[in-house]
Every structure is written in structure tokens, then in C-alpha cells.
Amino acid sequence: MNTKIQLFTMNITEWPRMEQHFEAMAQKGWLISKIWGGIAVYKRIEPAELTFAVAVYPEARSFESFDKTKSAVYISQEEENGWQLASSKHNLQVFYRSEKEEGAALRREFQVGNIHSHIQLETFSFVVLLTLNLFNVYRLFPLNHNMFYRNLSLSFMFWMPLLMLFFAARLSANALFLFHESRGLSLDNYHEYPAGFNRFLNITAYFIAGGVIISMVGSIAIDYVDSGRQLLFSMLPVVAAMSVGFFLRKYFVGKNWDGVQKTLAVIVVVVAVVSATSFFTMNRMMDNHKEALPQGQVTLTVEDLAPDKTSDYQSYRSSRSVLVPEYYRYHESLSGEIAVNTEVVKTRSEKIAVYLYTLHQQEMEKFNYQFISATDHFPEYDEAVYAIPIFFTREGPMDGFRDVSQGGTLLMRDGLTIISLSVDQNLNDQQIQVLLTDKISEIQAD
């Protein structure tokens, strides 16, 4: 093969290590040709003794793409001085020439200053992203039972804490550079920079980021097979925000805007685009939920309670994950008269079922549900309770709503299966209890 691909875990603060690595690869017959997204691509050459020089140019500017015109001028000037360009990506320019060739040294008096501006802007971005991630972690807990029904939401619980470690590693590496730069770091004394500790922080961040990306892409791919367009709709606001961000980076190049103006413009435009796409997405996803019950799916229906009547609203959705191979929820109602709801969760282990059952109860408690044991009515199940909604007035709870005659939810667990059946009928009624028992048996047999 004439091409070799390697993982590339070095960042711009490690440019001396890059030069040594590229020289070692050239001795083995491989010349660096492209660096992209943590990947280095090499092309086969005759083994050669080459001298490499890495330049960090041009300088980084807030919310702007790197100026390609400046890069082109600089590259052209260095090629006139006898250097050959091996790879150029953003502000990382890799040059080489034969070790036997004599010529001017690569111009890079700007090196430490450009690394400083890059690290400074990167640090600001990471602090903002860390703050957002902290907010998302705060929202993530306490966990919601619905999070276990999709692989993507399950992956959130995995990669959000990992992101915290990623930001900790990257911010530590950046702080290390900024500290030494403030103490007079320059090209002449760059060998005094603690390369070993910096290498450890960078490679840690690299592999953490890889784990996050793999978990996200993997879960999205799996969920797409199950959810199709619905998952794409849910990702639309994120894609739109990223697209707008890339567009603005290019737009700001050459514009005489200061950092505050660019920051405010980005915030306003991104918020507007995300709001618009989120509104569109939610409407489309809600439309997708208003679907008829799939043929053969067992649930409570309006006709179960009133055989002579037909519902005027239906909503069905289903999903699955590595922990919950089957989940579906179906709501059916007849305006002002009857409403029923069915939720079925089939887990891979009893421990998961017990945990989700408990979690479901805890969430219902937050919405003012009172629990009454239903094991006397349903002794054949591992766990069973009636969940009765309690409504509050200014004076306190309305005692009349504590009675199961007002309807509520039967929440039960039998082995690996959790079933929730909600009706607005008298739960003490023997016919209702027989209906619920028969329905649960049908669901389990399905």
C-alpha cells in the first residue's frame, strides 16, 4: 500500500515532538501528507533523512476561520527559501527538506505568540462548553426512566461525565502552556517546556474525546435504524447550530468586528436558528406521534371501556435500547369522556426492571401521586400499586381525589416486565380490575 493512516494525538503545543516524529517516519519511508481530525495520513517514499519544521501560522482570531490568504503567502515565501510543504491544516503548517540541503531557517518568530492566541481562544471556548455541560449534567440528574428507552439518551449518561474529564484535561494542558508562556517561554527555551506531562494531558483528552464520539455516533446509528426520521428531527437543532457557527466563522474573516460584537452576533443568530428549528422539529415529531395503534399491538383502548364508542385521539410511540429491548406507549381518548394510557417496558434483567419500576414511582411522587398497594387485587405479580393523582388548592390537597374511584394508574412489575395502565374509571370496580388483569395477561403473552 502507498498510504498509511495513524492516530494523531499531538496538538500545536507539541510541535517539537511532531518534527521528531515526522523525521522518524520519513526514515521508515513515510512522508506526512495530511493531518485531519486526529488522523495523520502518510504517503510512501524512499526512506530518507529529512528535516522537518512545523509552523503555527496564521494567528487565531475569535469566531473566525483561519485566513487562507495569509497562509498561502507565508507558504509561498518559505518555499522560495527552499522548504517544501508537506501538510497544511488550519494554522498548522508542516515543511520539510533534505537534511543535506542548506538554507534559511524557517521563519517562526511568531510561533509562541500564535500558540498563545490559539490556546487562549480555545480555553475560552472550553470554559463556555464546560459551563453548558455542567448545566446539562445538572438537568440529567435525578435520572428519568424515559432516558433508558433510547441508546442516545443512555449514552448521555456515559459521555457527559466523560466530557467533564475531557475539559479538565484540556484546560489543565492549556493552563500549563499559558503559565510557562507568562514566565518567558520562547523558541530559544521551548525545550524547557514540560513535554512529558503535556503529552499525558493531551493523549488523555484525545482518547476521552474518541470515547465520546464513538458512543454518540454508535447510539445515533442504532437509534436511526429504529426511529428513522424522528431521530433526524431531534438532531436538527444541533446540526443547524453547528452549520450557522461554521458559516459565521467564514463570514467574519476580514470583517472589522471586535470580539464583543462577534460574540453578540453569534449568540443572537444561533439562538434564533435553534429556536426556529426546535419549533419545527417539535411540531413534526408531535405529528409523528399521532399515529394509529400498530396492528396486533395490545393496549388499553376506549372500546375496552365503552364498546359502542370510538376514540377521537391516538398517540403511539415506541423505542428500544441495549437495556430495554422493547418499549411502547399508547394513549387514546374520547374528548371529555374517556382517556386510557398504556406503557410497557420489557427489560433485559430483573435488576434493571426493579430499578426502573422504583424510578417510575419516584417520578410520579414529584407530580403529587399517592400510592396504594394493589397486591391484594393482583397477588400474582411481583409488585403492584395504584398511583392516584392528588390535586391541590390554596387550602391544601383535595381529599376527594385520594379515592381510587376517581381513576389513576395501575403500575406493576412481573419479572422483567413493567406495565402501566391508566384509566379515568373507578379502580375499585371489579369489572375494571378484571379488564386490567386480562389486558396485562394479553400484553405478557404478546
Q: What percent of the chain has pLDDT over 70?
A: 89
Q: Which three cell numbers stand for residue 438?
A: 386480562
Closest CA to 32 of 21, 44, 42, 18: 42
| Confidence grade of residue 290 (pLDDT, cut at 50, 70, 90) | very low
Rounded distance, CA 361 to CA 371, Å? 8
| Confidence grade of residue 187 (pLDDT, cut at 50, 70, 90) | very high
**Rounded average pLDDT over 190-213:** 92
Helical spans, DSSP H, in 290-315:
302-305
How far the first Cα of the chain sits from its last, in Å, is 54
**Average pLDDT score, the chain:** 86
- Per-residue model confidence (pLDDT) at position 9: 93
Strand partners, 372: 386
Rounded distance, CA 306 to CA 315, Å? 19
Element of type H or E holding 339? strand 338-346
Q: Which three cell numbers stand for residue 413?
A: 412489575
- Measured at the alpha carbon of residue 345, what is the angle toward residues 342 and 348, in degrees to the nearest 5? 170
Contact 409, 420 (CB under 8 A): yes
- Per-residue model confidence (pLDDT) at position 257: 77
- Per-residue model confidence (pLDDT) at position 399: 47
- Per-residue model confidence (pLDDT) at position 288: 42
**Residue 39 CB burial class (10 angstroms; 0-12, 13-18, ≥19):** exposed
| Residue 78 pLDDT > 70 | yes
| Confidence grade of residue 427 (pLDDT, cut at 50, 70, 90) | confident
**Max Cα–Cα distance, the chain, nearest Å:** 98
Higher pLDDT, 313 or 28: 28
pLDDT tens-digit readout, 262-283 = 777 877 887 788 778 777 665 5
Closest CA to 174 of 118, 221, 229: 118
| Residue 295 pLDDT > 60 | yes
| Residue 434 pLDDT > 80 | yes
Question: Which DSSP string corresponds to 147-193?
Answer: GGGSHHHHHHHHHHHHHHHHHHHHHHHHHHHHHHHHTT--STTGGGS
**Rounded average pLDDT over 335-349:** 92
Closest CA to 217 of 265, 155, 165: 155
Q: Any residues with CB less than 8 A from the CB of 24 and at least 6 apart, and which?
A: none
**Rounded average pLDDT over 350-373:** 93
pLDDT tens-digit readout, 88-97 = 998 999 999 9
Contact 405, 426 (CB under 8 A): yes
Q: What percent of the chain has pLDDT over 90?
A: 49
- Per-residue model confidence (pLDDT) at position 268: 82
Per 3-state DSSP, the chain is made up of helix, strand and coil in percentages (nearest 5) of: 50, 20, 30
- Per-residue model confidence (pLDDT) at position 347: 97
Output the pTM of the full model.
0.77
| Confidence grade of residue 40 (pLDDT, cut at 50, 70, 90) | very high
**Residue 109 CB burial class (10 angstroms; 0-12, 13-18, ≥19):** exposed
| Residue 404 pLDDT > 70 | no
Antiparallel, parallel or unpaired: β 338-346 and 417-423:
antiparallel
Among 224-233, 265-274, 437-446, top mean pLDDT goes to: 437-446
- The amino acid at 293: L
| Dihedral-angle region of residue 413 (phi above 0 means left; psi in -120 to 50 means alpha; beta otherwise) | beta
Residue 38 is classified by DSSP as: T
- Per-residue model confidence (pLDDT) at position 47: 96
| Residue 46 pLDDT > 60 | yes
**Rounded average pLDDT over 162-170:** 92
| Residue 286 pLDDT > 70 | no
| Residue 199 pLDDT > 80 | yes
Q: How would you label 123-145 residue by residue, b for 16+ Cβ within 10 Å and e otherwise?
A: beebeeebeebeeeeeebeebeb
Distances (CA, A) of 113 to 76, 173, 177, 252, 384: 22, 17, 11, 22, 67
| Residue 44 pLDDT > 80 | yes
Closest CA to 164 of 214, 129, 119, 140: 129
**Rounded average pLDDT over 324-340:** 90
| Confidence grade of residue 225 (pLDDT, cut at 50, 70, 90) | low
- Per-residue model confidence (pLDDT) at position 400: 43
| Residue 402 pLDDT > 90 | no
- Per-residue model confidence (pLDDT) at position 153: 83
> Which value, to the nearest 10 degrees, does the dihedral of the CA atoms of residues 284, 290, 291, 297 take?
130
**Rounded average pLDDT over 228-256:** 71
Higher pLDDT, 217 or 30: 30
Higher pLDDT, 156 or 12: 12
Contact 20, 66 (CB under 8 A): no
